[in-house]
């Protein structure tokens, strides 16, 4: 984009920008461009707009249509409301439910969404305080609203914020809704969005009963009773899940966890973690340190909006006790095995994603339960549930620490998952075994499944080209092993390569471009193979 066009857009944006801190930032940006003649940073902010896609919107907070700010949020809200009014009968009266976390500007983004909805004649219901994403998602169907919005960037770095959208089913949006909403958003000028006054009769601030009703529902996820007490160490990771999780443990009859005090209170600056994602190396260090100190049976952590769950377990004898993080699939195996053993009925359904372990499917066959495999992302898990109306969802997961241990909400829920994981720990304690013993029992029954991942940085176009090249010319051998079959999932832009044999005890390698980052991601799974050997095979597939 030319210097003049970037600067012109920025100047126009500056006139409409409602927040003084963002205005000062933009003034300095324009001034710097004038002084050195560079438009690079202006183009990074103003040469396009955030695309509404996989997780709604998500970006750094800052000025411009390619950042998260109040003008971008107002434009997104106007497009969403316009789409609902045109396509969902009775949506103006049913309204929209809006929640927010503790990140920078989440509260004003939520209020602006309500004001935009009210200005367009739609009822807007604001949750009363910072709140976990699962609470918002759970209340969508309880209240019968037309849609829900959660202002959160989940586990992204501290400088980010985001805007997640659910439809009336309580599920995140999938095609074609995402593209249609995006088209509606693009039809609005972000600097000219009408706002209703904050005291509009169409804006209702709900009471704390939204949290209380969710907490009161949580005992229904328990599957086993009369278990011994266990000691849990917990971190909210500076997010909004801590208070609700403590209430949840009390509601289901568990002893409340011992918390990492430095990470329990919501703080959008995340002072003790640079990347508040339980998957990231070091992110759970403080809760593991606490677990060691108090002799805990398990260490749990939610991500900042509490829709994910990280788990660490003690291994070894008391004299040489160490802690290790469970991988997302290992948590999924423990939850899936427990739930399938403690539920009944031939109408049961379990769901996972293409890049998660194949072991859940084997468990489902063993228990005579319906199984579905979906594209990457929890929105597709919800879509699979909706497409199986005659089945009863009992468990779903994705390997990126997302778990659903009940039939609602139709999204991952790190709080209810924490409760069921604690139940598994208590059941193991009653039986005189450890969680590692449980994993070993699963391996004995189904084979020792080994998983690994790697990623390679490259642009989205380069990543797509790599997958297309493999699709057009699949290899006959990889790492000295015969390629037994290739499965293509074009809608997910994912290629699955089987070595030795298809399914069963064959080696499964997968490759896809990331949908959110400039990288190609690779996933490997094998049975009874050393992880180092599996990584070598995965590396041989890598571009």
The CATH number of the domain covering residues in 229-447: 3.40.120.10
Domain 49-207 matches domain 229-447 at the CATH topology level: yes
User: Band of the pLDDT at 3, cuts 50, 70, 90?
Assistant: very low
Task: Answer yes or no: is pLDDT of 333 > 50.
Answer: yes
User: Band of the pLDDT at 1, cuts 50, 70, 90?
Assistant: very low
User: Band of the pLDDT at 234, cuts 50, 70, 90?
Assistant: very high
Which of the listed ranges 20-34, 85-99, 466-480 does the model predict with the highest average pLDDT?
85-99
Percent of the chain with pLDDT over 70: 97
Average pLDDT over residues 70-88: 98
Average pLDDT over residues 440-454: 96
Residue 436 is classified by DSSP as H
Long-range contacts of 210-213 (CB under 8 A, 24+ apart): 210/127, 210/128, 210/131, 210/135, 210/139, 211/131, 211/135, 211/244, 211/247, 213/139, 213/142
Between 20-29, 89-98, 313-322, the lowest mean confidence (pLDDT) is in 313-322
Identify the CATH assignment for 449-541 out of 3.30.310.50, 3.40.1380.10, 3.30.70.960, 2.130.10.10: 3.30.310.50
Between 6-10, 105-109, 203-207, the lowest mean confidence (pLDDT) is in 6-10
Are 420 and 335 within 8 A, CB to CB? yes
Task: Answer yes or no: is pLDDT of 460 > 90.
Answer: no
3-state SS class at 49 = coil
Convert the pLDDT of each residue in 14-61 to its tens digit: 999 999 999 999 999 998 887 665 678 888 899 889 988 666 899 999
Distance, CA of 213 to CA of 210 (rounded, Å): 5
Convert the pLDDT of each residue in 170-195 to its tens digit: 999 998 999 999 999 999 999 999 99
Tokens 């939520």 correspond to what residue? 110
Pairing of strands 494-499, 507-513: antiparallel
Distance, CA of 434 to CA of 429 (rounded, Å): 7
Q: Identify any residues that bridge with 66 across adjacent strands, giving them in sequence order.
A: none
Q: Identify any residues that bridge with 298 across adjacent strands, giving them in sequence order.
A: 232
Convert the pLDDT of each residue in 247-261 to its tens digit: 999 999 999 999 999
366-392 as b/e: b if 16+ CB within 10 A: ebebbbbbbbbbbbbbbbbbeeeeebe
Q: What value does the mean pLDDT of the chain take?
A: 94
Task: Answer yes or no: is pLDDT of 2 > 60.
Answer: no
The residue extents of the domains of the chain are 49-207, 229-447, 449-541
Convert the pLDDT of each residue in 119-139 to its tens digit: 999 999 999 999 999 999 999
Distance, CA of 140 to CA of 409 (rounded, Å): 8
Q: Could you list the active site residues? A: 154
Percent of the chain with pLDDT over 90: 88
Compute the Cα dihedral for 206, 210, 212, 216 and give only its sign.
positive
* Among 283, 230, 263, 290, residue whose Cα is nearest residue 419: 230
The CATH number of the domain covering residues in 49-207: 3.40.120.10
Task: Answer yes or no: is pLDDT of 273 > 80.
Answer: yes
DSSP 3-state percent helix, strand, coil across the chain (nearest 5): 40, 20, 35
Are 283 and 375 within 8 A, CB to CB? no
Give the tokens for residue 141. 């169907």
pLDDT of residue 54: 61
Distance, CA of 540 to CA of 73 (rounded, Å): 44
Distance, CA of 107 to CA of 101 (rounded, Å): 7
Distance, CA of 306 to CA of 411 (rounded, Å): 11
Distance, CA of 203 to CA of 270 (rounded, Å): 31
Are 335 and 403 within 8 A, CB to CB? yes
Between 75-84, 132-141, 249-258, 317-326, the lowest mean confidence (pLDDT) is in 317-326
């Amino acid at each position: 984009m030319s210097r003049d066009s970037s600067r012109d857009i920025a100047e126009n944006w500056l006139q409409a920008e409602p927040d003084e801190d963002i205005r000062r930032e933009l003034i300095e940006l324009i001034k710097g461009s004038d002084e050195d003649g560079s438009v690079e940073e202006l183009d990074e902010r103003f040469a396009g707009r955030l695309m509404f896609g996989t997780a709604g919107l998500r970006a750094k907070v800052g000025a411009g249509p390619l950042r998260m700010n109040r003008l971008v949020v107002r434009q997104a809200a106007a497009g969403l409301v316009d789409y609902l009014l045109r396509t969902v009968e009775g949506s103006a009266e049913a309204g929209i439910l809006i929640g927010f976390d503790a990140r920078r500007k989440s509260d004003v983004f939520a209020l602006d969404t309500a004001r935009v909805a009210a200005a367009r004649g739609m009822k807007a219901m604001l949750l009363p305080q910072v709140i976990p994403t699962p609470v918002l998602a759970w209340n969508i169907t309880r209240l019968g609203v037309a849609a829900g919005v959660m202002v959160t960037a989940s586990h992204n770095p501290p400088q980010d914020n985001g805007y997640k959208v659910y439809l009336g089913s309580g599920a995140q949006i999938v095609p074609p809704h995402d593209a249609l909403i995006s088209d509606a958003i693009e039809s609005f000028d972000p600097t000219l969005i009408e706002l209703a006054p904050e005291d509009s009769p169409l804006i209702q601030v709900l009471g704390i009963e939204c949290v209380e009703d969710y907490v009161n529902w949580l005992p229904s996820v328990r599957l086993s009773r009369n278990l011994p007490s266990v000691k849990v160490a917990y971190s909210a990771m500076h997010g909004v899940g801590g208070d609700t999780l403590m209430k949840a443990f009390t509601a289901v009859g568990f002893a409340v966890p011992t918390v990492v005090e430095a990470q329990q209170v919501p703080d959008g600056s995340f002072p003790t973690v640079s990347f508040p994602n339980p998957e990231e190396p070091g992110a759970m260090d403080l809760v593991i340190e606490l677990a060691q100190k108090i002799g805990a049976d398990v260490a749990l952590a939610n991500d900042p909006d509490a829709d994910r769950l990280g788990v660490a377990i003690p291994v070894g004898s008391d004299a040489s006790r160490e802690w290790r993080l469970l991988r997302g699939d290992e948590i999924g195996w423990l939850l899936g095995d427990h739930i399938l053993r403690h539920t009944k009925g031939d109408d049961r359904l379990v769901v996972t994603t293409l890049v998660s372990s194949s072991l859940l499917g084997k468990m489902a066959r063993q228990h005579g339960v319906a199984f579905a495999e979906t594209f990457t992302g929890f929105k597709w898990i919800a879509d699979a549930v909706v497409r199986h109306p005659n089945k009863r969802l009992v468990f779903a997961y994705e390997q990126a620490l997302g778990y659903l241990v009940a039939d609602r909400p139709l999204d991952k829920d790190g709080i209810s998952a924490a409760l069921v994981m604690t139940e598994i720990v208590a059941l193991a304690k009653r039986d005189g075994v450890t969680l590692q013993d449980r994993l070993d029992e699963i391996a004995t029954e189904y084979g020792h499944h080994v998983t690994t991942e790697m990623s390679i940085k490259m642009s989205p176009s380069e990543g797509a080209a790599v997958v297309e090249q493999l699709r057009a010319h699949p290899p006959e051998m990889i790492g000295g092993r015969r390629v037994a079959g290739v499965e293509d999932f074009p809608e997910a832009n994912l290629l699955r390569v089987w070595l030795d044999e298809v399914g069963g005890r064959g080696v499964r390698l997968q490759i896809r471009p990331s949908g959110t980052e400039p990288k190609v991601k690779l996933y490997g799974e094998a049975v009874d193979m050393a992880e180092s050997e599996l990584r070598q095979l995965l590396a041989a597939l890598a571009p």
